Amino acid sequence: MGEISALTDIEVSRVAVANLNELLRQLQVQRIRRKQLPGRPTQDIPAETIEAYLMSGVKAAEIARLFGVSEMTIRRRMCEYGISHSTNPVALTGSLNSEEPQTNVTEDACDGSTSSHSADTEAPTCNAEQADCVTATVLQTMETTFREQEALRVQEQREYEERLRKEAKEGGDVEGDDGVPRKTPKGHYGAPTPDNISSSESTLPTT
């Protein structure tokens, strides 16, 4: 059994080395083609390589140092490849009712922001009845949240209109035909406008 295991490891190692050599050859060919183009040569970083590093827990900054590029370059490639990685990969082992859920920290490749959430260590399974119950709960929560937001918006709108009416009464504003308070036309320092001056002069008695 030991000999069989050793031979198997040797075969696996040979396959891995062959794959790495083929990847290196493809990268060299791509670099030669890139050098023929004008401008600065583009660093070829395969999507599979980035994804493998990320799944191993390597951060974008560390990957950038390995390839000799900036962290922004790695994040830009992640956006181009549509890769979003988890700095703490979840192992699919455990039970559905695990008392110690694993925290999964996800990092956005485009802006570098991170968000954490707890996840069970095993992909949960449920029957149709449980799925319907969860779906109904989610829909009810969404509807309740929407109604609360709508009620808050209406309340804020009423408070805003009430404040406008109060300011209109205190400041001598006039209310237009559409019900929106408007300021009365005044010049600088509260002086009447030229139109009001001319109209007031026309009403003065002549001697």
Q: What is the pLDDT of residues 81-135, one digit of tens each?
A: 888 755 444 443 444 444 455 555 555 555 555 555 555 545 556 667 777 777 7
**DSSP conformational letter for 58:** -
**pLDDT exceeds 70 at position 163:** yes
- Residue bearing tokens 């309740």: 144
Residue type present at position 77: R
How many residues comprise the chain?
A: 207
pLDDT tens-digit profile of 136-158? 777 777 777 778 878 888 888 99
Query: Quick one: tokens of 186?
Result: 């005044």
Q: Which residues pair with 107 in a beta bridge?
A: 85, 114
Neighbours of 144 (CB within 10 A): 10
Phi, psi of 102 (to 5 degrees): -90, 135
Do 93 and 69 contact (CB within 8 A), yes or no?
Answer: no
The pLDDT score that the predictor gives to residue 2 is 47
In 11-111, DSSP assigns E strands to 85-86, 102-107
Q: Which residues pair with 175 in a beta bridge?
A: 181
Do 96 and 125 contact (CB within 8 A), yes or no?
Answer: yes
Helix or strand holding residue 185 (H, E) = none
Nearby residues of 13 by Cβ (< 8 Å), 6 or more positions away: none
pTM of the shown model:
0.30
Q: What is the mean pLDDT of the chain?
A: 66
Q: Helices 71-81 and 47-55: crossing angle, nearest 10°?
A: 110
